[in-house]
Structure 1
Amino acid sequence: MTVTNDDLDRLWKVLRPMGWGAVALVLLTPAVAMRFTNQVNWTASDFVFAGVLLIGGGLAIELVAWRVGNPVVRIGFALFIVAVVALLWAEAAVGFLH
């Protein structure tokens, strides 16, 4: 079975709303959890950091997707940005690089 550019374009059209939905879910989860438990204690600066990191990563992906026509490059760049955001998030959470 050969994967065509049309197949990758259809995949991209499915992944975009899923990605923005994931950003919203990640930002809403601690807000909801803080209503039910004291073990989650995010400050306003935590939400700002998470928002800038996640929305900034999403906007970087959108910018490249808008400028680059090749769907393979789009998906590869999106995976790269997701990996960078995950690394920065993990470093901010536990500081494993220190």
Structure 2
Amino acid sequence: MNVTNEDLDRLWETLRMIGWGAIALVMLTPALAMQFTEEVNWTGEDFVFAGVLLIGGAGLIELVAWRVRNPVIRIGFALCVVAVVALIWVEAAVGIFH
């Protein structure tokens, strides 16, 4: 089975929509949870940090994807950015490295 650039482009578009939807879900979840429980207590700074990190990472991916036409490079770069964002998120949440 051969994978064509058209198949990879379709995959890329699907991943873009999933990515932006995931960002919206991650930002809305604590806001919604704070309405029902005292255990979730994000401040405005927490939302700003999450927004800058998530939207900034996604914006970087979009910028590179806009300039790079090779879908394999697009997807590979996106995976790298997602890994870095996840590492920063985990470090901020639980402080693995200190």
TM superposition score normalised by structure 2 = 0.98
Match of 1:60 in 2: 60
**Structure 1 gaps, min length 5:** none
**Structure 2 gaps, min length 5:** none
Tell me whether 1:71 sits opposite 2:43 in the alignment: no
Report matched runs for 1:72-91 at 5 Å.
72-91=72-91
Alpha-carbon shift at residue 4 of structure 1 (Å): 1.4
Deviation per CA, 1:21-62, whole angstroms, max 9, x where unpaired?
Answer: 100000000000000000000000000000000000000000
Report matched runs for 1:1-98 at 5 Å.
1-98=1-98
What is the identity percentage for the equivalent residue pairs of Structure 1 and Structure 2?
74
Alpha-carbon shift at residue 14 of structure 1 (Å): 1.1
TM superposition score normalised by structure 1 = 0.98
Alpha-carbon shift at residue 8 of structure 1 (Å): 0.3
Q: CA RMSD in A?
A: 0.5
